[in-house]
Structure formats: structure tokens, C-alpha cells
Amino acid sequence: MNSIFLSGKKYILKIFLVVCLLVGVGTGFGIYINTVMEKIPNDIYVIRDDEAVVDLGIPVTGVCEASGGITKVDFNEPVIFKGSSTGTYELSIRLFDLFNIRTVEVNVVNERNIYPCGFQIGMYLKTDGVLVVGTGEFEDYEGNKVNPCSNILKQGDYITAINGKEINSKSELNNIINACNDEKVILKVRRNGEIIELSIKPVLTAEGDYKVGLWVKDDAQGIGTVTYVTDDGKYGALGHGVSDPTVGELMEIRAGSIYKTKIISIVKGENGDPGEFVGTINYSDSNKLGSIIKNSISGITGDISANLINDYKLKKVPLGYSYEVKKGPAYVRLYHNGEYKDYEIEIQNVKTGASKNITYKVVSKELLELTNGIVQGMSGCPIIQNGKLVGAVTHVFIDDSTCGYGIFLENMLEHGN
């Protein structure tokens, strides 16, 4: 086992990718490179005056300049990181000790305490523009089948303006199109992060209105679970982003709110059917708990009422980082029938990456009796191991409701920021 001692110097993150290595080599070697890259974390966190053991088990070496010198380690074996002062250090990763393939940030941080949650919320999100979920044919005033948007607008486009007027709702879009007076309309569209302008001519229908044949949406709703709350009134929930089921991509939002929800029943998970929480949501201001500011691949984040800390009798626990997560016993926390309970799970695998870091199986007889494992709506339930909040529930196995995936809490915090 080799080690790196980090002290007193800050560096700038640089990314090294050997593109030439991936071009002109065999497909098998390219797949091997991708497999190795997936196992290398983007960041490593070390609690100050503690030891972080990172066990990647891959043929790469790391070179770090710290403590007045250069240290080289072999990630085929476990590596111990030690930090006596907070700061950020760069660790250059080399494949076979020959090629720089990535530079990892090693962050030495002070120990942090955080409130684990586990209670359900109702969510309401407004899209940033009007989301196109599809196009289709309709009959014009002569009975002909027409599709004005065919090969012009695409599923996943966001319409942000029409004829120079910004829009954020389906009704605004429909009203302007219906008032076109047989003239073309100019749409401003955000596609894959780029802004483009498209021209479409609405068609008169037999009913006397104008249409373009678009299926669109401007909002989304659902039930999820809050993972954590911080001292400054921030929260993280779900552990995965909110996506449109038709488009299959992360929804781009401009605003949103979270609300109290009442769970009225639980549909147990079965093989092939993940089950779900069934609840009611009152979207009134008096029922509002906080805002949704960001929708990322690691869940939703925003501001939340500080009163919830007392209302739910939340208690702080230390934040656990990825290097502390091990195979073996852990717990899923769930608020049910007015109280918290920690239900035992068995962590079966741990890996780096943006998501699906923790693979686990529910072993608690009580939770199996209640839900038969993991159900929809439990996304965001805290995962606690050795008294530390280390992650959150994200997905259930479709063919086995007793098993699921989780995300490292450090990933939720990183993407939430």
C-alpha cells in the first residue's frame, strides 16, 4: 500500500485526454481504455487529519506535486491519502506509466455535518421554454393530412420565443400561432444548447383555427424524497434528475417548487413492476416547502424552509465520502407514519462515476413487508453507513424490487452546487 501526504499548496485542475491513443488502435483496446476511465473518479475527498484509502485496482499511476516534492503511486494497489491542511491538489493519472489520461482533483476538506432526511415531497417544475415532445399529422380545412413541423422541429427542442416574443407556456404558443392570419411564424429554438431560428407556416383547420402539429409540454409534477438539508437552508432530493419520459433527457427548467405531500398508499414492488408511493399534493402557497433552483443529473436542489429541521426533528450526522463506503451492512432512512426508521440493506458493490455508485440489496424484513424493497417515490432516501450519510437511493432493479442503485452524497453536493 502506497501513500500521498498533501500539505499547503493549491493547484489548478487540468484535463489530459490522449485522443491519439483512441484513434487508430484496435476496438478492443479502445473499450479497455473506456473501462479504465470509468473507474477513475473526477474528484477525491480527504477529511483533514484523516486517511482516505482509494482502491481502484487498475493499471494506472498517479503523480502528485505536494509537500515540496513529487510523489508517485501505483493504483493497482490501494493508495492512502493524508492531508494536514485544507486545499485542492492535482493528481495526474497515467496509463501504464506512459500516457496522461486524466488529472484528478484531490480535495482536503474539514469534517462536515449534515441533516439526513427521508421524507416525501411533491414537486412542480416549469420548463425553460416550451418542450417539444413530438410532431404529428392533422387535417386541414380541405380534409388533407398535413404535418407542418415535419423535419423542422425535433423532439427535445425548447421553443423560447415566437415572432420575437418570449414564451414559457403552451397557451402562449397556441395563442400566437392561432393569431397568425395565414402568415409564417419565426420560432427561436434551443437545440442541444444552441439557439437557432426556424420558420413554420401554420395551417388552417376545418374548425377555423391554425395549427402546426406540435405535441408540447411546459411543466412536470411528481413525488420524491428529500435526501439532506444543510445549515444554510439548502436541500438535495431524488439523487437523479427529472427527465421527460417521452424525450428521455434531463428536463431544462426555469423555476419550480416543492410541497408537502400526503402518502395515502404504497403499491409494493414486484418483478417487472417497481411499485410506487401514491399520494396527494396540494399546490397552494400555504403548502409550499421551498424552491427548485437546479435540476441536475444528481437530483433537484434549492432553498427549503428552516422550520423543517424542527418539524421533522432532524439531527445532524457526519458526511461520509466515497472512499468511506464499503461492501457490507448499511441503512436506508425513510419517513413513514410520522416517524423515521432506518432499514437495513447490504451494499454489494461500490464504483466511481456520476451515478449508480452503490449497488445494494434490501435485507430488512420490515421494509420488505412494507414495500417489497424499493418503489418509485423512494428516490432520494438517505443511505447511512457507520453513522455517516454516504449516499441516496436512486433506482430499483426492474426484475428484482429488493435490489437497487444509489449515488454517493459527494456527487449530489458537487452537482447541486
Choose among 188, 194, 198, 200: nearest CA to 164.
Answer: 188
DSSP 97: T
* Residue 31 pLDDT level (bands cut at 50, 70, 90): low
Residue pLDDT, tens place only, 302-339:
999 988 899 899 999 999 999 899 999 999 999 998 89
Nearest 5°: phi and psi at 291? -110, 160
For residues 2 and 271, which has the higher predicted lDDT (pLDDT)? 271
Mean pLDDT on 17-27: 44
Distance from the Cα of residue 198 to its chain's centroid: 31
For residues 6 and 146, which has the higher predicted lDDT (pLDDT)? 146
Gap between the Cα atoms of 257 and 254, Å rounded? 11
Gap between the Cα atoms of 154 and 226, Å rounded? 34
Q: Is the pLDDT score of 196 beyond 60? A: yes
For CA atoms 258, 260, 266, 268, the dihedral sign is: positive
Q: Is the pLDDT score of 18 beyond 80? A: no
b/e burial code for range 254-283 (CB count within 10 A of at least 16 → b): eebbbbbbebeebbbbeeeebbbbebebee
Residue pLDDT, tens place only, 155-168:
999 999 999 999 99
Residue pLDDT, tens place only, 71-89:
888 888 999 998 888 999 8
Strand 79-83 to 2-6 pairing:
parallel
Residue pLDDT, tens place only, 384-398:
999 999 999 999 998
Q: Is the pLDDT score of 286 beyond 90? A: yes
For 61-75, give the DSSP string: EEEEEETTEEEEEET
What is the per-residue pLDDT for 54? Answer: 87
Q: Are 157 and 189 within 8 A, CB to CB?
A: yes
Residue pLDDT, tens place only, 359-393:
999 999 999 999 999 999 999 999 999 999 999 99
Q: In a 3-state reduction of DSSP, which class is residue 153?
A: coil
Q: Is the pLDDT score of 262 beyond 80? A: yes
Gap between the Cα atoms of 94 and 73, Å rounded? 10
What is the per-residue pLDDT for 11? Answer: 37
Q: Which helix (H) or strand (E) holds 38?
A: helix 27-39
Q: Is the pLDDT score of 97 beyond 90? A: no
Strand 43-47 to 99-109 pairing:
parallel
Mean pLDDT on 4-26: 45
Per cent of the chain over pLDDT 70 is 92
Q: Is the pLDDT score of 175 beyond 50? A: yes
What is the per-residue pLDDT for 67? Answer: 61
What is the per-residue pLDDT for 27? Answer: 55
What is the per-residue pLDDT for 29? Answer: 58
Residue pLDDT, tens place only, 38-69:
788 888 999 999 888 888 888 888 888 766 67
What is the per-residue pLDDT for 149? Answer: 94
Domains of the chain are: 2-111 (2.60.40), 114-125+221-417 (2.40.10.10), 137-212 (2.30.42.10)
Per cent of the chain over pLDDT 90 is 68
What is the per-residue pLDDT for 261? Answer: 95
Residue pLDDT, tens place only, 201-259:
999 999 999 999 999 999 999 999 999 999 999 999 999 999 999 999 999 999 999 99
CA–CA distance from 142 to each of 182, 208, 210 (Å)? 15, 11, 13
| Mean pLDDT score of the chain | 89
* Residue 30 pLDDT level (bands cut at 50, 70, 90): low
Q: Is the pLDDT score of 15 beyond 50? A: no
351 grid coordinates:
464504483
